[in-house]
Amino acid sequence: MKRILILFLTTVLFTNCTNEEIVQENNYFFEASAFEIENVDFNPSTNFDNDYRVREFYGFQVLPTDVPLVYILWETLSNGTEIWRPLPQTVIFNDGNDLVYNYDFTQSYVDFFLEGSDLDNLDSIWTQNQVFRVVVVPSVNVGRVDLSDLNAVMNFYGITEFKKR
């Protein structure tokens, strides 16, 4: 009987709380870290096994259960509105060649990299001055918010700004 009562009270407590209240009550599980990296240039490199790779260290603790989400600034509209897309993103060119912006990560760093059929002949608009946003979230929250929508992620975690790097 006690277990049923505890389960009932817990269910009522959490279903009556907004996301913000849950975030405030359980910061450890609902806290996200975020930063923005400007002017990322992808160039052929001998520093990595794969060319066109850039590594960024977090500079804060990332738990084994945390998941980095990466978004690329895809377009800025004439009114200044920024369009962000989640990685990976694929571009297929008219000549049949393709380009993929992708990433992988460890607990220490995130790597941004390009994959594609003809990277050496890409126009610099695709390889220079790219902007990325990284949000490191606890995996327990995956499924609670639309991760493909940067604004939804920002709202869920209360992110109001991205530290520039």
Mean per-residue pLDDT pooled into runs of 10, the chain (165 residues): 40 38 43 90 70 92 93 97 97 95 96 93 94 93 86 92 92
Give how many domains the chain has, as a whole number: 2
9 and 71 together in one domain: no
Q: Amino acid identity, residue 157?
A: Y
46 and 113 together in one domain: yes
Residue ranges making up the domain that contains 26: 1-30
Looking at residue 51, what is its pLDDT? 79
22 and 69 together in one domain: no
Enter the DSSP assignment of 161.
-
6 and 40 together in one domain: no
pTM (2 d.p.)? 0.77
Looking at residue 17, what is its pLDDT? 38
Q: Amino acid identity, residue 158?
A: G
13 and 37 together in one domain: no
74 and 3 together in one domain: no
**Starting from the edge strand earliest in sequence, which strands make up the sheet with 66-76, in order?**
82-86, 66-76, 130-138, 33-40, 163-164
Looking at residue 6, what is its pLDDT? 38
Over the range 84-101, which residues count as b (16 or more CB within 10 Å of their CB) and which as e?
Answer: bebbeeeeeeeeeeebbb
Tally of CB atoms within 10 A around 28: 8
8 and 48 together in one domain: no
Nearest to 70 by CA among 54, 85, 80, 92: 85
Backbone φ, ψ for residue 132 (5° rounding): -125, 150
14 and 95 together in one domain: no
126 and 108 together in one domain: yes
Q: Which residues contact 130 (CB under 8 A, 6 or more apart)?
A: 39, 40, 41, 42, 72, 73, 101, 112
49 and 26 together in one domain: no
61 and 126 together in one domain: yes
138 and 75 together in one domain: yes
